[in-house]
Amino acid sequence: MAEPSTASRPAAAAAAARAGATAVAHPNIALIKYWGKSDERLFLPRTDSLSMTLDVFPTTTRVTVDAGAAQDTVVFDGRLAGGERLRRITAFLDLVRRQAGRAERAVVVTRNAGPTGAGLASSASGFAALALAAAGAYGLAPDARALSRLARRGSGSASRSVFGGFALWHAGADADSFAEPVPVAGSLEPALVVAVVDAGPKALSSREAMRRTVATSPLYEPWARSSGQDLVEIRAALGRGDLAAAGEIAERNALGMHATMLAARPAVRYFRPASLTVLDRVAALRQGGVGAWATMDAGPNVKVLCHRADSAVVAAALREAAPGAAVHVAGPGPGARLLDGAGR
Ligand code: 2P0
């Protein structure tokens, strides 16, 4: 970009002082899970993970630089945020400010279309949107890889929501730990049917739960090893358009992750009776010849991978099995994007 003329410099500085950007990002659901960090400060995962970004439950976030403010302000779903939520977002903005060589505070206004903190990946869409909006507001222009690394520092799984479709997040050192798109067969038409059996916030954060699991579960290391093999196999299955193989691998990877938690001391248990009812129905669907495979995250809700053509049948079966659950059908969604281009 050309240097502004001397005459326009004060105007440019004033514009920068109130620059803003709005970004939208969607949650992703891992088919091969991220569970456990090798570095808590840098959000480096113990294992590679692989996810599908959804086309439901977006987060929309606007960041406006506020040169006159003494501290950051965060408005979350229409309410002023404080406590841990404000601390996490401020710490993330500090990282962006360090990268940009800037010091001004910001106003963050963010809204989740889906439930927050209920194992529906709101932190993934949230920090992917925040990373892109904050980078725009502070004048950074990260490429997709740099944006994924930046989003990772807010919440590990956010590294994957930078990308649409399927994404693989690499374990490794800081510079190497980013997500990137995974090519899949053109014939693959997947859907993820989400059964929200409980939309309330989880009792134990995934951050604390994974810390405890790594520190105390005798099943953790065997799961981490087998997860590496699951990743190799699911990439091959997705590449050849074999949803049945991919679904089997995803289900075993998720149940294995929950086994590591159940063996932690004290145990971490996200399953609820309604979760098991849904898992039973998924098994019954399969016995009846419908391809359906379950995955669960750090919460009681169940996500069911199936062919798009079967998604209505699967959704109806889950509604019948768990009448109290809200059931949503998602397809592969888009990557994070700026809504207002240059961001002014
Ligand atoms: C995942 N989960 O791969 C796994 C599976 C939950 C179960 O990523 O500590 O909110 O902010 O990096 O990303 C949830 O953990 O945790 C998660 P932090 P994050 O989707």
Average pLDDT, the chain: 93
**Amino acid present at 10:** P
Residue with tokens 């405890």: 212
**Each residue of 257-276: pLDDT tens digit?**
999 999 999 999 999 999 99
Residue to mutate (ligand 1; options 38, 125, 152, 206; most atoms within 8 A of CB):
206
Has residue 115 got a pLDDT over 70?
no
- Nearest ligand 1 atom to the CA of 207 is 9
Q: How far is the CA of 210 from the centre of ligand 1 (A)?
A: 8
**What is the per-residue pLDDT for 78?**
95
3-state secondary structure at position 257: helix
Has residue 204 got a pLDDT over 80?
yes
Q: How far is the CA of 251 from the centre of ligand 1 (A)?
A: 17
Q: What is the DSSP string of 133-181?
A: HHHHHTT----HHHHHHHHHTT-TTHHHHTSSSEEEEPPSSGGG--EEE
**What is the per-residue pLDDT for 21?**
97
**What is the per-residue pLDDT for 7?**
40
Determine which residue's CA is closest to atom 12 belonging to ligand 1: 156
| C-alpha–C-alpha distance, residues 75 and 86, integer Å | 9
Determine which residue's CA is closest to atom 20 belonging to ligand 1: 30
User: Shortest CA distance to 299 belongs to which of 317, 322, 274?
Assistant: 274
Two tokens at 18? 């109130």
3-state secondary structure at position 201: coil
- The better pLDDT of the pair 199, 228 is held by 228
Residue to mutate (ligand 1; options 116, 155, 208, 212; most atoms within 8 A of CB):
155
Q: How far is the CA of 119 from the centre of ligand 1 (A)?
A: 9
β-strand pairing of 105-112 with 59-66: antiparallel
Q: How far is the CA of 77 from the centre of ligand 1 (A)?
A: 21
| C-alpha–C-alpha distance, residues 134 and 104, integer Å | 12
3-state secondary structure at position 329: strand
**Amino acid present at 33:** K
| Ligand 1 pocket by Cβ (under 6 Å) | 30, 33-35, 43, 49, 123, 155-157, 206-207, 297-298
Q: What angle separates helix 220-239 from helix 243-262, to the nearest 10 degrees? A: 170
- Three-class HEC string of 47-105: CCEEEEEECCCCEEEEEEEECCCCCCEEEECCEECCHHHHHHHHHHHHHHHHHHCCCCE
Q: How far is the CA of 45 from the centre of ligand 1 (A)?
A: 10
User: Shortest CA distance to 157 belongs to which of 140, 169, 171?
Assistant: 169
Domains of the chain, CATH where assigned: 17-183 (3.30.230.10), 190-330 (3.30.70.890)
User: Shortest CA distance to 145 belongs to which of 180, 109, 169?
Assistant: 180
**What is the per-residue pLDDT for 202?**
77
**What is the per-residue pLDDT for 14?**
60
- Nearest ligand 1 atom to the CA of 33 is 3
Confidence at 2, pLDDT banded by 50, 70, 90: very low
| C-alpha–C-alpha distance, residues 311 and 63, integer Å | 37
Has residue 42 got a pLDDT over 60?
yes
The stretch 57-69 carries a mean pLDDT of 96
3-state class percentages of the chain: helix first, strand second, coil last, to nearest 5 = 40, 20, 35
Q: How far is the CA of 227 from the centre of ligand 1 (A)?
A: 15
The stretch 223-238 carries a mean pLDDT of 98
Has residue 246 got a pLDDT over 60?
yes
**φ, ψ of residue 183 in degrees (nearest 5):** -70, 140
Bridge partners for 190 per DSSP: 307
Q: How far is the CA of 287 from the centre of ligand 1 (A)?
A: 31
* 88, 117 contact by CB (below 8 A): no
The stretch 64-80 carries a mean pLDDT of 96
Residue to mutate (ligand 1; options 37, 59, 88, 157; most atoms within 8 A of CB):
157
**Each residue of 171-189: pLDDT tens digit?**
999 999 999 999 999 999 9
- Nearest ligand 1 atom to the CA of 34 is 3
Q: How far is the CA of 14 from the centre of ligand 1 (A)?
A: 39
**Amino acid present at 211:** R
What b/e readout covers 276-299, taking b as 16+ CB neighbours within 10 angstroms? ebbbebbeebbeeeebbbbbbbbb
Q: How far is the CA of 13 from the centre of ligand 1 (A)?
A: 39
| C-alpha–C-alpha distance, residues 36 and 342, integer Å | 37
| C-alpha–C-alpha distance, residues 249 and 226, integer Å | 11
135 torsion bin: left (phi>0), alpha (psi -120 to 50), beta (else): alpha
User: Shortest CA distance to 260 belongs to which of 97, 35, 85, 65?
Assistant: 35
**What is the per-residue pLDDT for 199?**
81
